[in-house]
Structure 1
């Protein structure tokens, strides 16, 4: 029987009305209140997006973020999101500003992982992409952190698990790995067996749980940003996903990433409680199947 997992409330799980699809991308809740609520509900990890970091830094030094986490017994900090790191021009200039902010915050607050995303518009040259990711990973290491690439089925490149595995193993940098969100694995129909068969455990940095209906509603981005379900309450076999991830030897905190209009409308304590209880039920089912 496996010990109870350490759960990490990813940035959107505690963000209230904020959403990656806008119009509000920064949480209306203070970072201090979000950390306190997550700790009170038993979460051991906490995530923040760049917009929240900018607001926090406007009034408080970044070092206080680590103090807040320590005061509440929250061990793990995850930051996001660096996009367009393989592009150039104005998009790269904007990406580099976010990159500096997030890496500085990771170093000041002791974030073990920074999530990065692929270019969501056009495909990129594989050689250039690998070179850019290697540079990104090396820079992360200089700041005492590492980057976890989250492939996206609706992106212009790095759209599935195989593409993500190919990139991180080709680069082979110890600070460059993957973030596996069950939504991004299951929605395009990827067999979970590929995780244990092809993903070296040393390149698996972050895992996220959630769920969805059997068929997408609207575009893939609309479906993922507005209509996710609690883990175990949709069509994904989340316990089987957990088992596949465990087979890699993964021993980090398990993120729960809730993105839905319903979740955003809940009081924060209720939102955290529902997400945590649903995730733990999936772990209990995974343990039952393994027994």
Structure 2
């Protein structure tokens, strides 16, 4: 059995990384999509910086055609932060928000990934109200938002934090991005993953790493991720836990590492797809 895989934005970006410069990939977006398609990927992720760069010379309808013509059945957009803030940071966030929601509608994106707080701790009531507003706006555009728990967040560090927010919110257009790196590094047992409700799991991301962080948590997450099966995370057990929730994909693969960035994507994407598939049952 072959499982549907989505190459998240950094997986196909070449020498680009989160919060490094303007985040734009040095590679052409068309070339990345075509390479991913030829390597067997059926989904593609876009970060806002690459979307904005493409739109400087091309239209969303053209991008939609490129994705469709290359068999990309699943599209994912990211990464919206500061959506609960006020002032200049909120103004900048709102501009990105408008771009991402417009693109989601045009491209038929399944999900827009959104950040929790990293450098401040918002009032819980404000955070909930703004998430509800954001999810409702996303639904009006035919998409939904996935909140990503991260161990270095100030307010959504764990899956349990994320679940509490979703249960308090009660908006079906808001769910979770469940990334094995963040689950493992937060000390969350995979048995807790298996307890998630299917309707709470919007995005799942696979990667791997060493048993202990290499450098700071930030260094580890943006420079040291490994291909699934090459580390100590026990990817097979994580996949089994996710499957038990009823999740059926697509399965995002998010490799952010110095080693991966140094490889030509024509070499890395086929190899990565094969190694990921080998982690699934009955592969």
Q: What TM-score, normalized by structure 2, do the two folds share?
A: 0.97
Are residue 211 (structure 1) and residue 208 (structure 2) matched?
yes
Listed as ranges, the gaps of 5+ residues in structure 2 are none
Q: Does 1:15 align with 2:5?
A: no
1-structure distance, mates of 2:19, 2:122: 23
Contact kept, 8 Å, 1:152 with 1:184, in 2: the verdict is yes
Per-residue CA deviations over 1:55-100 (Å, capped at 9, x if unaligned) read 1111111111111011111111000010111222211111111101
Show the counterpart of 1:67.
Answer: 65
Aligned residues: 283
Structure 1 vs Structure 2 CA RMSD: 1.2
Higher mean Cα deviation, 10-19 or 146-155? 146-155
Residue aligning to 2:241: 244
The aligned residue for residue 268 of structure 2 is: 271
Task: Call closer, same or farther: CA 1:166–1:238 in 2, change over 3 Å.
Answer: same
Structure 2 counterpart of 1:235: 232
Q: Deviations over 1:115-163 (max 9, x none)?
A: 1111111122222111111111001001111001111111121011110
| Deviation beyond 2 Å, 4+ runs, structure 1 | none
Equivalence for 1:223: 220
8 Å contact kept, 2:40–2:270: no
Give the match for residue 174 of structure 1: 172
Long gaps (5+) in structure 1: none
- The match for 1:42 among 40, 43, 63 is 40
SS of match in other structure, 1:179: strand
Instruction: State the SS of the aligned residue for 2:178.
Output: strand
Output the TM-score relative to the length of structure 1.
0.95
Cα deviation for residue 24 of structure 1 reads 5.3
Per-residue CA deviation, residues 212-265 of structure 1 (Å, 9 max, x unaligned), is: 111112211111001101111111011110011111100120000000001001
Report the equivalent of 1:56: 54
Is the contact between residue 21 and residue 225 of structure 1 (CA under 8 Å) also seen in structure 2? no
Structure 2: how far apart are the matches of 1:269 and 1:127? 47
